[in-house]
Structure 1
Amino acid sequence: MWSAKPIYPPKGFLFSGIIAGIKKKHKNDLGLILSQKPASASAVFTTNVFLAAPVLISKQRIKAGTAQAILVNSGNANAGLGNEGIVSAKKTSKALAQKLGIKESMILLASTGVIGEKFPAEKIKNAIPKLVQNLNPDGVLEFTRAIMTTDTREKISSRKIQIQGKDVRILGITKGAGMIQPKMATMLGFLMTDAEASPDTLNQLLKQIVPHTFNRITIDGDTSTNDSLFLLANGASKVKIAPDKPGWNSFRNALYQICLELATMMVADGEGVTRYFYVQVNGAKSKSDAEKIARQIANSPLLKTAISASDPNWGRIIAAAGIAGVKFNPNHASVFLLSPNGKNRMEIFKHGARSKKYRGLKQEKRASKILSKNGFKIIFHLESGKESFEMISCDLTEQYVRINASYRT
Structure 2
Amino acid sequence: MGCGTSKVLPEPPKDVHLDLVKKVEPYTGYKTDIYKHFIKGDGDAIKSAIPSPPHHTNPHVEQAEPRKNRVAKYRAKFDPRVTAKYDIKALIGRGSFSRVVRVEHKATKQPYAIKLIETKYREGREVCESELCVLRRVRHTNIIQLIEVFETQERVYMVMELATGGELFDRIIAKGSFTERDATRVLQMVLDGVKYLHTLGITHRDLKPENLLYYHPGMDSKIMITDFGLASARKKGDDCLMKTTCGTPEYIAPEILVRKPYTNSVDMWALGVISYILLSGTMPFEDDNRTRLYRQILKGKYSYSGEPWPSVSNLAKDFIDRLLTVDPSDRMTALQALKHPWVVSMAASSSMKNLHRSISQNLLKRASSRCQSTKSAQSTRSSRSTKSNKSRRVRERELRELNLRYQQQYNG
The two structures have a TM-score, normalised by structure 1, of: 0.30
Structure with a larger share of its residues in helix: 2
Structure with a larger share of its residues in strand: 1
The two structures have a TM-score, normalised by structure 2, of: 0.30
